[in-house]
C-alpha cells in the first residue's frame, strides 16, 4: 500500500472518530445519562472542600477508547 493511501485511510478514520465524539457532545443533553454523573461516581463534600472522582465514567471511557483503538488497529492490517 502506498504511503499516501495509508495517510488517506488514517485521516478518514480520525474524521469518523472526531465526528462520533462531536455528535456525542452535541446530543449529550438529550441522552438519558450524563457522563461524569453516573451512578458509582464518587463525590464527597466537606465543610471547605469537595472531592469528585468519576470511577464509572473512567471505566466506560476506557472500554470505549479500547474498542475504538482495537477497530483502528484491526482495519490497518
How does 16-52 read in b/e, with b if 16+ C-beta sit within 10 Å?
eeeeeeeeeeeeeeeeeeeeeeeeebeeeeeeeeeee
Model confidence pTM above 0.95: no
Residue 56 vs residue 35, higher pLDDT: 56
pLDDT of residue 48: 93
Residue 1 has what pLDDT? Answer: 66
Answer yes or no: is pLDDT of 50 > 90: yes
Whether residue 52 contacts residue 41, with contact meaning beta carbons closer than 8 Å, is answered with yes
pLDDT (mean) for 6-16: 88
Please report how many Cα atoms fall inside a 13 Å half-sphere around the Cα of residue 16, on the Cβ side: 9
Q: pLDDT value at position 45?
A: 92
Amino acid at each position: 500500500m502506498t504511503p499516501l493511501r495509508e495517510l488517506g485511510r488514517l485521516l478518514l478514520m480520525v474524521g469518523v472518530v472526531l465526528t462520533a465524539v462531536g455528535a456525542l457532545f452535541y446530543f449529550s443533553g438529550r441522552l438519558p445519562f450524563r457522563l461524569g454523573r453516573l451512578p458509582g461516581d464518587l463525590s464527597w463534600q466537606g465543610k471547605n472542600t469537595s472531592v469528585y472522582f468519576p470511577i464509572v465514567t473512567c471505566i466506560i471511557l476506557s472500554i470505549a477508547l479500547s474498542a475504538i483503538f482495537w477497530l483502528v488497529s484491526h482495519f490497518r492490517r
